[in-house]
A and B are shown apart, each in its own frame.
Chain A
Amino acid sequence: MNKRTVFKSWWLPVLFALPQLLLIVFFFYWPAISVFNWAFSLEPAFGGAGERLFVGFDNFREVFADGEYWRSVSLSLFFAFTATGLSMLIAFVLAICVDRQLKGSGIFRFFYIWPYAIAAPAVGLAFRFIFAPESGLIAVVNTWSPDLWNPAKFGSHAMILVIICFAWKWIGYNFIFMTAGLQSIPRSLLEASSMDGSGPVRRALDIQLPLLAPTLFFLLVLNLTESFVGPDTYGIVDLTTEGGPNKATDMMVYRIVSEAFRGLNYSGAAAQSLVLIGLIMVFTFIQFRFVERRVHYK
């Protein structure tokens, strides 16, 4: 990140950086320090004004001893992997098809991006209707036999609903990056291979897929992070199932927010937040290692 020509001034860069600096100190770092502080301490009894009581790793021990926490972790993992897999698979098939550049594929490309414009809560509300047990698209199965489909009653159905919402919304995003990745593959490679007698399917598997691997890996990490800890998961769960029925869709992000606000368990929520921040750091680290490698590719 070095420019040959730079300006000489010590106070101007500070001035330019100041707006962002103030914003991140006030709204990111100070709160983060509070989270850290709360995770290792307890509120004085009866809400007294005194100093917070330092308790070491007690809050973490309490969180990890809770069976419901681990259930929430495994639910989040299941959700993250299935939603990511489903979304990326569909987006990949669509991107490969569009990249064949048949007549009219521009129109398809135009629409495939749309889901990404829709906010997670809106997706949640819409799919809550489409998959409602009493009306909408799927309700018809309940006329064959009652309660064949009821996300308000069965945890597994609720989980399917939440996964569909997330996967649908992220098809748009994955599609954008996959088509961009496919476009950067030199046409001459595909032409040379077709001269050698390979058909479109062989080319897709042996040339496009491997050359797209860096993009796919980037998307995999990004999708996993977003579904695991992202705001979309919170928005979808809040508008469809609210963590229910019977906590069957109580993902980690949703749990932290509701525990902190409804349960007023700040210390427990802070400990869970720190665990989550650690996970995000691992994800981001993996992503950046890979970005380094991809620069190497070029």
Chain B
Amino acid sequence: MIERTPILNAVTYLIMILGLILILGPFWMIFTASTQSLQQVSSVPFNMMPGGDFLKNVDAAWDRANLGPALFNSLITSLLVMVGKIVVAALSAFAIVYFKSPLRHVFFWMVFLTLMLPLEVRVIPTYNIAADVFEPVRWIINAVTGIELSLQWNLLNSYSGLVLPLIATATGTFLYRQFYMTLPDELAEAAKMDGARPLRFFIDILLPLSRTNMLALATIMFVYAWNQYLWPKLMTTDASYQTAMVAMRSLVPSINALPEWNVSMAGALIIMLPPLIVVAVLQRWFVRGLVSTDK
């Protein structure tokens, strides 16, 4: 605006700075605590200046939460979930938008309804099916033909188990559908006239055009996958498949021991860093992905 409002500007800056303290304060406390010794971190009132024990604390947290393998597992599963979601979303939106099958409405609604079935309300049966994926298949075959099959596939304590149940994506499908809808009809017409088949059109025209979309989706899905907690916690009993987010649980100081918050915070800092970097560095894409999934 053109008017001069020096007092109001000062108030605005004051509020924004207070907001900044509110947002960055916890980050600063996590960081300073992770650099202090046990004695410093236990001091009351809390000392806001960093100490010199950062590496020592990281080392202790690394051992306690078994962070090496945990971070590796998190990275692998997050990347797989991210790629899986993009592929699945691009494919199913293509099926919905570019074909006139009577079943597409049914399919669209089936995908939509998954939004109302969050993991918390179907934990046990999802766990059961991960333990025995072919249960429905055996049940159906048995009901139809009466044959008892002994087909089995157990997903517990495996990467497929950490990844597959998280790949289905309603938001990703909507995002891609929205994107295909904005493309002009002439594009498909021209491609058809040039003799392109659906698969060629999809690979050579749609996918390259959706690069922006893909990047936006990739950022939000990576953050989503890295921050998963309940599912990996339930289905990994074998410590070698634990993800970093689950390992966080072992950083909570136990009641009977000294509260080593410096070690806890050092571990927490490392575990929360990757998604934070994605959001900070790729903020433009992250925000775009987030805002455009609400349509």
Contacts and interface: CB of A to CB of B under 8 A. Distances in A.
Interface of A: 1, 3-10, 12-14, 16-17, 19-21, 23-32, 34-35, 38, 90, 93-94, 97-98, 100, 102, 105, 108, 110-122, 125-130, 132, 134-137, 139-140, 142-143, 168, 171-173, 176-177, 180, 190-191, 194, 199-201, 218, 229-231, 234-235, 238-239, 253, 256-257, 260-261, 266, 269-270, 273-274, 276-277, 280-281, 284, 291
Given A1-B177, A280-B116, A6 B276 contact: no
B282 to A, nearest CB: 11
A142 to B, nearest CB: 8
B99 A176 contact: no
A31 B46 contact: no
Contact of B261 (A8, A97, A132): A132
B147 interface: no
A38 B130 CA distance: 18
A3 B98 contact: yes
23 contacts: A1-B97, A5-B189, A7-B201, A13-B96, A17-B92, A28-B122, A30-B129, A94-B16, A97-B16, A97-B19, A102-B13, A114-B280, A117-B279, A118-B276, A119-B271, A177-B290, A180-B287, A194-B1, A199-B5, A200-B1, A231-B118, A269-B124, A276-B120
User: Range of interface residues on chain B?
Assistant: 35 or more
A23 B26 contact: no
B294 interface: yes
B248 A94 contact: no
A180 B268 CA distance: 31
B198 A284 contact: no
Given A26-B133, A27-B129, A136-B261, A7 B99 contact: yes
Given A30-B129, A128-B252, A234-B229, 4 more contacts: A17-B104, A121-B249, A180-B291, A194-B3
Nearest to A277: B121
Contacts of A16: 91-92, 94-95
Interface string B205-248: 00000000000000000010011011000100000000001001
Interface string B1-40: 1110100110011011001101110110110010000000
Nearest to B17: A108
A119 B245 contact: yes
Interface of B is mostly: helix
A261 B168 contact: no
A105 B16 CA distance: 8
Closest 7 CB pairs of A and B: A119-B227, A31-B125, A34-B125, A117-B279, A16-B95, A13-B99, A273-B121
A27 to B, nearest CB: 4
A6 B122 contact: no
B188 A3 contact: yes
Interface string B178-191: 00110001001100
A135 B41 contact: yes
Contacts of B107: 17, 21
A112 B295 CA distance: 23
Contact of A190 (B1, B19, B30): B1
Contacts of B42: 134-135
B119 interface: yes
A242 B188 CA distance: 55
B122 A31 contact: yes
B173 interface: yes
Given A94-B16, A112-B19, A135-B44, A129 B261 contact: yes
Pick from A21, A118, A128 the residue with the most CB of B within 10 Å: A118
A23 B198 contact: no
Contacts of B29: 126, 129-130, 136-137
Contacts of A201: 8
B129 A31 contact: yes
A93 B17 CA distance: 12
Contacts of B100: 6, 8
B26 A168 contact: yes
A5 B168 CA distance: 28
